[in-house]
Structure 1
């Protein structure tokens, strides 16, 4: 197969996973990057130095990962386990288990808890300070209407997106029931949900080339601001070819956001002004995951075939780290016409 050159401002990380990338995340404290993969590993990279710092083997495909701090993190595995990873010692232990593959893991700094979502239709909260492998680390179990596909946190708010287009919104300070129960405003299966950095709402993507911009405030004025838009699609021979939108990542400084699709493109959007700011050159294959670094200078891109078109020859899995130019992510000021003389 002919080699596809990565886009110009991207550099490829050495020692990538040997099978599909399920997620990647930058640390909130450094340029360390955590990568989970279907090859049963979690890898820790120093993205700036392009060095693999550590590797953890699991008993099944790893479907998600997140940082606790620069010395430890957590993973969600298809072997039904939630694991704690201690980077400096290269050690891991089982924090707890679900009854089916664990799809999502998040760490809440406000609650001091690990939050996991599984295909067993349960959301669980864990206290990572508990004794290794003891169920007493389990803070609570919260049944969901369907299998959990994506989670996102902002402050004390947790958004849970499940199969069947359900969206549950929780306040972590009172998990007895959801604050709000919603249905996705998109017609097709949810692929990713990510909260706005300013805490006012969330973006939701679907398998059908659309993104919905939603707001938590239920007032008429706030709900009037919500909208959805088409992306990651093209016209060919008079028909629309539509690609799943696998990934959403918000820029930590400007609040603009990037989307990644099965078309191999990464687009950057200004949600407030409803405009696309930038489209990067096409990556070798599907975009499986995206993450901005804590200062917004870097964007990690997982170019990893997601089998939307079945088992076919595809480019090898790769992770690119792109240096971000401000012009690509900074909203453009609105230009108002001069008033008449």
Structure 2
């Protein structure tokens, strides 16, 4: 297992748990939504130093964050049922989305005909809503079968995972209806999800039972579906808290409540790198930057063992320099 002694620690990290991480697609700015009711933004400098920049306040815990394609707007969703936007040029924060329950997930839609430059939010109110920032009401609202637990998109592919193991798949080129609804191939509650960024034809899904499912959208690709176990130690099983895909190579990371991170090549079915978080703290959120040269992860208590195991440890957000040879796909083993 590789150590993380060469990783850089983000300065002025939150004292409470981090729920989500996101990099700007235009510059090395990192946002982190946190249970202390704030989403923070740092500038990551070439030498690995981080400079705190701005904060998006919520009235209750912040649960998710994302960016516009031009990097000039950072978004944050929270348990206060509000989606908020920070304009980096003016420093102004405005509410641009609302739900009837906490907003758990959000993504920015770009380069999809008829629905580009919109924010999509997923909520525990069992809906996803599409927001044109010029309007105060959602442009589209879709009912989900259950509360939204995880969501990701790649090009026109939007996938949401809900309670009771439902998965709703949308083709944003035809946004007026759901493309397909399936049950998770995993037997336990969904915790994390990531869409294939290069091929845009499938997704990885993670469960609380330390298992990953690789799923393709089209029936013709179904023979390539498979699942595997991860984030387990002896008889102990840990939740897969986060999945992040490398933007260029399509390899991906999983992060667990066991305090470890693994990088995987789904096509050759190999683990290609392993990391251990500081103090073996659970890893709650991860993100690659725009060109995949920086990997950010948050190490803090995730409450998976209950309140009696909480030790008041501060949260750490770490930046791991990514070497191309460590993340590139591997040849299939014979």
Q: Deviation string for 1:181-239 (max 9, x for gaps)?
A: 100000000011110012021000000000000001112xx10110000000011xxxx
Q: Compute the displacement of 1:314 (Å).
A: 4.9
Tell me how far apart the structure 1 counterparts of residues 243 and 80 of structure 2 sit (CA, whole Å).
26
In structure 2, what is the equivalent of residue 190 of structure 1? Answer: 190
Equivalent runs, 1:41-190 vs 2, <5 Å: 41-48=38-45, 49-68=49-68, 69-110=70-111, 111-130=116-135, 134-135=136-137, 138-190=138-190
CA 1:15 to 1:195, structure 2 compared with 1: closer, same or farther past 3 Å? same
In structure 1, what is the equivalent of residue 7 of structure 2? Answer: 10
TM-score (norm 2): 0.93
In structure 2, what is the equivalent of residue 3 of structure 1? Answer: none
In structure 1, what is the equivalent of residue 299 of structure 2? Answer: 303
Tell me how far apart the structure 2 counterparts of residues 327 and 279 of structure 1 sit (CA, whole Å).
14
Residue 213 (1) aligns with residue 214 (2):
yes
Tell me how far apart the structure 2 counterparts of residues 145 and 75 of structure 1 sit (CA, whole Å).
24
SS in 2 for 1:145: coil
Equivalent runs, 1:272-291 vs 2, <5 Å: 272-284=267-279, 285-291=281-287
Q: Compute the displacement of 1:293 (Å).
A: 1.0
Tell me how far apart the structure 1 counterparts of residues 305 and 88 of structure 2 sit (CA, whole Å).
36
Kept after mapping to 1: 8 A contact 2:268/2:333: no
Kept after mapping to 2: 8 A contact 1:47/1:321: no
Q: Compute the displacement of 1:331 (Å).
A: 2.1
**Where do 5+ consecutive residues of structure 1 fail to align?**
1-5, 337-341
SS in 2 for 1:224: helix
SS in 2 for 1:30: coil
SS in 1 for 2:258: coil
Q: Deviation string for 1:243-267 (max 9, x for gaps)?
A: 0000011111211111100001010
In structure 2, what is the equivalent of residue 32 of structure 1? Answer: 29
The number of equivalent residue pairs is: 320
User: Rg bigger for which structure?
Assistant: 1
TM-score (norm 1): 0.91
**Where do 5+ consecutive residues of structure 2 fail to align?**
none
In structure 1, what is the equivalent of residue 313 of structure 2? Answer: 315
